[in-house]
Structure 1
């Protein structure tokens, strides 16, 4: 089975971001630094994150890394948006996740009933990653 797993790139904040995402989404992140992997010739990169994984309790994997110092042409803000979705039974959890992700970030669209009947909201977290959260409406009887 093919899986699609988001891979987020950061400028020196991957460890902090992944630790935050674990506190919001659950799971325990793993970290491998450039120093561990022998992947950088710049000593300043030794403690930067070469690769991090967060295996989510409900399935899926969120991955991330820091950019090495040699990568100077990075955009100033993330162009990545991660989508989280669930059914009516997940509403309370997803509302809590949305609120935590938006702390210190920006509410783009409140998590509320959308014109198509589901609940939908968007925010940008304090690390610049965009999030879309969707809660499917309960089926009509």
Structure 2
């Protein structure tokens, strides 16, 4: 098996909603396991929180996430952006449109000085995204 580098997102109480949203954006198969299923929390309020979620897209992209347990601190800011890039501008435009809807656009998805089409946004769950469509030769 090849080694993969996969983004793993942390949420406070909305990992399920976020991952279901990302499935509508990216497509693919979503599997989810709760704290309750694996008996990893003694707090009944955490039983339905996601211990682990995995979204695998038809193209092989993998996005993972979990809810942060109540007893742990969740960082309020991140130095990470999830980047989507490729040559299919129509596909990437579709991702951009869905990710930026209800979020904050920091750089519009438009031609960039280096020739590609590029944009940056923070989605409605607070996750930073960069989308880059490589210019056709």
Query: Which interval holds the TM-score relative to the shorter structure?
Result: over 0.9
| 2: CA distance, partners of 1:78 / 1:50 | 20
Give the corresponding residue for 1:57.
58
| 2: CA distance, partners of 1:67 / 1:79 | 18
Is the contact between residue 8 and residue 80 of structure 1 (CA under 8 Å) also seen in structure 2? no
Is the contact between residue 110 and residue 118 of structure 2 (CA under 8 Å) also seen in structure 1? yes
What is the deviation of 1:5? Answer: 0.6
| 2: CA distance, partners of 1:118 / 1:104 | 25
Runs of 4+ in structure 1 over 4 Å off: none
User: Unpaired runs of 5+ in structure 2?
Assistant: none
| 2: CA distance, partners of 1:81 / 1:13 | 19
Give the corresponding residue for 1:80.
80
Give the corresponding residue for 2:41.
40
User: Unpaired runs of 5+ in structure 1?
Assistant: none
Instruction: Give the TM-score of the pair, scaled to structure 1.
Output: 0.92
Give the corresponding residue for 1:112.
110
| 1: CA distance, partners of 2:5 / 2:33 | 21
CA-atom RMSD in angstroms: 1.0
